[in-house]
Amino acid sequence: MINRVVLVGRLTKDPELRYTPSGVAVARFTIAVNRSFSNQQGEKEADFINCTVWRKPAENTANFLKKGSLAGVEGRIQTGSYEGTDGKRVYTTEVVADSVQFLEPRNSSGGDRPQQGQPFGGGSNQNNQYSSNQQNQSPNQQNYTRVDEDPFSSGSGPIEVSDDDLPF
């Protein structure tokens, strides 16, 4: 059985960061995802999808994304239900994110965010690359390239690569 979803959309408001009683971070946010077709009036419609992300990626999402930010979310759909105040059963559907990617450069809509496409894994997958790599780095160390610094700008010609440099 497969339960996998990938979404790209814009946040409808700033993420809401909370902590469980045991200190685990959880961020909730909603993204608006445009539909690929227009309605009868020729207007594009959007779906508003509730998302939840856990642990360090939740803190990063809350710190670096805000209302209007473009984000990619990968995770699974989770349904649930609870009894409403009127005694009726209320059904819920949300995406529990394993990964939230920041899809805009830091300077495109303000704020201090990583470079385009910088992934921040998380969710229930404790062994993801972000978690395992980041625990060994100091808090001030950043693992992304600044958008305004091109590491290849100093060269004026082709880049020389020998066969010994290739990993295959």
pLDDT digits (tens, 9 = 90+) for 105-129: 766 654 444 444 444 444 433 333 3
Q: Is pLDDT larger for residue 39 or for residue 78?
A: 78
CATH entry 2.40.50.140 includes domain 5-149 = yes
133: left (phi over 0), alpha (psi -120 to 50) or beta: alpha
Where is pLDDT greater, at 144 or 62? 62
Does this model's pTM top 0.85?
no
The confidence band for 40, taking pLDDT boundaries of 50, 70 and 90, is confident
Q: Residue 29 CB: number of other CB atoms within 10 A?
A: 27
Quick check: 101 and 64 in contact, CB under 8 A?
Answer: no
- The token pair that represents 50 in the structure block: 């509730």
| pLDDT the model gives residue 39 | 86
